[in-house]
Amino acid sequence: MLAILLCAGRCAAADGALAEAFVGAEKVDLRTCDVSSVVTLREKVGIPPPSTPVLVKVFERNALPAVLRPSFAQEGAAGVTINGKYIAIIKTELRDEYADILRHELVHAYITLASPAPLPLWFQEGSAVHYSMGKNRKFYGQAVKEQPGVVIGKTVELPESYKQQLQTFNYILDTVGEQQFNAWYKEAVMTGNVDPRPLLGLDSQTAQGSKRSGKRPTLWLLGVMGGILAVALVVAFIAARQNREYY
C-alpha cells in the first residue's frame, strides 16, 4: 500500500510539473485543427477526433524545464509527445522543419488519445513518420531575409529504426492499396489491435510456407512480422509508464 501511495504521489508531482511547464502553450483542438496529418487522420482515414485538447509549446534546448530534460536526452530528439496531451518542440529557425515536427507529434497525440489501449512503439513511430515526413531523409532550406542570396538549411535523416517502421507501413500500403490500408489503420487505432497479418493474408500456416493468396511471403516480410511480435513483448512495459513518450 505504501508503494502504491508513493507512486501516486510521484505521478501527481510529475503531472503538476508538466502542467506548470506548459503554461502559456498553444491549445490545439484535434476536431478543428488544420494541420495536414490531423486532417488526414480525421477526414481521410475516418478516425473520430479526440475531444481532449493538446498543448503545444516550443522550448529552447538549453532552457528546458527539469521535467522535460529526460525526454530530450536522446540525441537528435526535436519533439516529444507525452501522454498524448503535451507536445514539446525544440525551437528551430527552419519553418518547414517545425511544420514536419508538429505534424509528426500531432499524429502521436491523435492516435494515443483515440485508442482504448497503448499502441506499440513500431506502430506509433511508423504512423508518425508515414503521416509527416514520409521519407527517409529531407532537406530543410530557408532564405535569410537580411542577407539576400544566403540560404540556411540542414538535412535530417531518420534513425534506422524509424526507417524500418516507415518501410513496414509502405509495404502494407503498397500490398493492399490505400482503401484497405485506411480501413485496417482505423480499426487498429480504434481497437488497439494493430496486427497486420490478417490484412496481408498471413496466419499461422503461412509461417510454415503457405499463404491464402497463393503467393509465398518474402523472407523480409517474415522478418518484419517477427520483429513486430518481438516488439509486442515490451508493450506491457511501455504501457506501464505513467508518462508515455513518443518522439
Cα separation of 210 and 109, whole Å?
38
Quick one: how far is CA 141 from the chain centroid? 24
**Higher pLDDT residue, 222 or 162?**
162
Lowest mean pLDDT among 68-72, 75-79, 83-87, 180-184: 75-79
**Higher pLDDT residue, 76 or 193?**
193
Cα separation of 216 and 155, whole Å?
38
Write out the three cell numbers for 33.
485543427
Count of helix runs (H) and strand runs (E) in the chain: 8, 7
Percent of the chain with pLDDT over 70: 77
Q: What is the pLDDT of residues 191-209, one digit of tens each?
A: 999 999 999 988 744 444 4
Cα separation of 79 and 98, whole Å?
9
Cβ–Cβ under 8 Å, residues 95 and 215? no
Cα separation of 238 and 218, whole Å?
30
Query: Nearest 5°: phi and psi at 246?
Result: -135, 140
Averaged pLDDT for residues 11-34: 88
Task: Read off the amino acid at residue 186.
Answer: K
Write out the three cell numbers for 76.
537528435
DSSP letter at 242 equals S
Among the listed residues 16, 50, 14, the one whose alpha carbon sits nearest the alpha carbon of residue 31: 50
Going by pLDDT thresholds of 50, 70 and 90, the confidence category of residue 13 is low
Q: How far is CA 211 from CA 197, 204, 206, 215, 218, in A?
A: 11, 9, 5, 6, 11
Element (H, E) at 7: helix 2-21
Among the listed residues 84, 158, 82, 87, the one whose alpha carbon sits nearest the alpha carbon of residue 126: 158
DSSP letter at 27 equals E
CA atoms within 13 A on the CB side of 180: 12
